[in-house]
């Protein structure tokens, strides 16, 4: 497949597949893409990237609608209850689909009632310490947390965040003890680790790279599946160091139950074309440390099942209750 998509003519030619031709009557009016978080986040940026390419290709605008609140539940409730006619598509994160059902006593929608379209990407995580902390590996961090319980502080964006769950998992599996310090936003958290106010946290490789280059931060591991992060190829993965948890946040597209299969296949085919286009991924996904995935709707359904099982274990370990 061509590696030079993203120009209108080339992309239109590449997407002129039999499935696309079959569904060419769709869309005949604007499509809403509901992002259940405020503007500026990872899935919001990805949504706008898709809209920027697919809108002119399809001849109809894809309008990104941000509906934030309740850790994503408000926007997803609205999307799940929309008419299943193909003109409202949901763009949640994995936390909403996998973790929220175990963190909230009552969910306003059932994630399993939604129809998977395509797995968009995974968000790599760098487990990072202030450079003054005398550890260079995850094992050394664990040993310090065991030898001096509650002497190492671990920053997060609050209960149920990725950083919090990794801390809880390491404590449960190793016997180490850390002090959880929640922050209200990523900028405050990053400044706290840079300044030595706290010792440890997790963030995307791209966000912590400047601090690493300045000598203020040290990355102990990157959670990036079986391959190393292209942003930090010299840093071993969490798995390489003997720790088997891979609970990264992720992005996926979903429709309401009752949607036409032709519309699902149209979205799946066209989004997969973008996710396999090197220039598109390098421009929009690489800066956010998002690993493009893609695949079939069935593949996303299988992934969701496995991911929810991991989320259930983590919620139990952390005694997680968000309501």
Print the SS3 string covering 251-281: EEEEECCCCCHHHHHHHHHHHHHHHCCHHHH
Residue 57 and residue 39: Cα distance in Å, rounded?
A: 24
Output phi, psi for 127, to 5 deg.
-85, 115
Give me the domains of the chain, ranges plus CATH numbers. Answer: 8-121+248-317 (3.40.190.150), 125-223 (3.40.190.10)
Instruction: Give, for all 323 residues of the chain, the pLDDT tens digit.
Output: 444 444 444 444 444 444 444 455 899 999 999 999 989 888 999 999 999 999 999 999 999 999 999 989 999 999 999 999 999 999 999 999 999 999 999 999 999 999 999 999 999 999 999 999 999 999 999 999 999 999 999 999 889 999 999 999 999 999 999 999 999 888 899 999 999 999 999 998 988 999 999 999 999 999 998 889 988 999 999 999 999 999 999 999 999 999 999 999 999 999 999 999 999 999 999 888 899 999 999 999 999 999 999 999 999 999 999 88
What is the residue-wise DSSP string for 99-149? Answer: IHHHH-SS-SS-GGGSEEEEEEEEE-EEEEEETTSS--SHHHHHHHHHHST
Q: How many CA atoms lie within 13 Å of 10's alpha carbon, on the beta-carbon side?
A: 12
What is the predicted pLDDT for the residue at 24?
A: 59
Closest by Cα among 87, 86, 85, 88 to 77? 88
Residue 119 · residue 295 · CB < 8 Å: yes
What is the predicted pLDDT for the residue at 186?
A: 83
Residue 103 and residue 196: Cα distance in Å, rounded?
A: 31
Residue 62 in tokens: 């894809």
Residue 19 and residue 43: Cα distance in Å, rounded?
A: 26
What is the predicted pLDDT for the residue at 14?
A: 43
- Predicted TM-score (pTM) of the model is 0.84
Residue 233 and residue 227: Cα distance in Å, rounded?
A: 9
What is the predicted pLDDT for the residue at 41?
A: 85
What is the predicted pLDDT for the residue at 187?
A: 86
Q: Taking the CA atoms of the chain, what radius of gyration do you get in angstroms?
A: 20
């Amino acid at each position: 497949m061509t590696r030079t998509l993203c120009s209108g003519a080339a992309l239109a030619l590449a997407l002129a597949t039999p499935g696309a031709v079959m569904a060419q009557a769709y869309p005949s009016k604007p499509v809403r893409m509901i992002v259940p978080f405020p503007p500026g986040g990872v899935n919001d940026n990805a949504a706008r990237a898709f809209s920027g390419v697919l809108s002119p290709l399809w001849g109809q605008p894809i309008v990104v609608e941000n509906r934030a609140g309740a850790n994503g539940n408000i926007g997803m409730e609205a999307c799940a209850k929309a008419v299943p006619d193909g003109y409202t598509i949901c763009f949640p994160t994995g936390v909403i689909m996998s973790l929220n059902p175990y963190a909230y006593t009552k969910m306003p929608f059932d994630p399993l009632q939604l129809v998977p379209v395509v797995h968009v990407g995974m968000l790599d995580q760098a487990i990072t310490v202030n450079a003054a902390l005398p550890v260079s590996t995850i094992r050394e961090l664990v040993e310090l947390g065991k030898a001096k319980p509650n002497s190492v502080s671990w920053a997060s964006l609050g209960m149920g965040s990725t950083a919090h769950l990794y801390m809880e998992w390491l404590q449960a599996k190793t016997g180490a003890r850390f002090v959880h310090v929640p922050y209200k936003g990523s900028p405050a958290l990053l400044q706290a680790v840079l300044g030595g106010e706290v010792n440890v946290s997790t963030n995307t490789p791209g966000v912590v790279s400047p601090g690493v280059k300045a000598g203020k931060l040290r990355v102990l591991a990157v959670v990036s599946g079986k391959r190393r992060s292209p942003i930090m190829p010299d840093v071993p993965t969490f798995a390489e160091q003997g720790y088997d948890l891979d609970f990264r946040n992720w992005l996926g597209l979903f429709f309401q139950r009752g949607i036409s299969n032709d519309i699902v296949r149209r979205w799946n085919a066209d989004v997969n074309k973008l996710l396999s286009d090197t220039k598109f991924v390098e421009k929009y996904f690489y800066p956010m440390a998002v690993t493009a995935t893609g695949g079939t709707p069935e593949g996303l359904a299988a992934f969701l099942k496995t991911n929810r099982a991991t989320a259930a274990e983590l919620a139990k370990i952390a005694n997680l209750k968000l309501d």
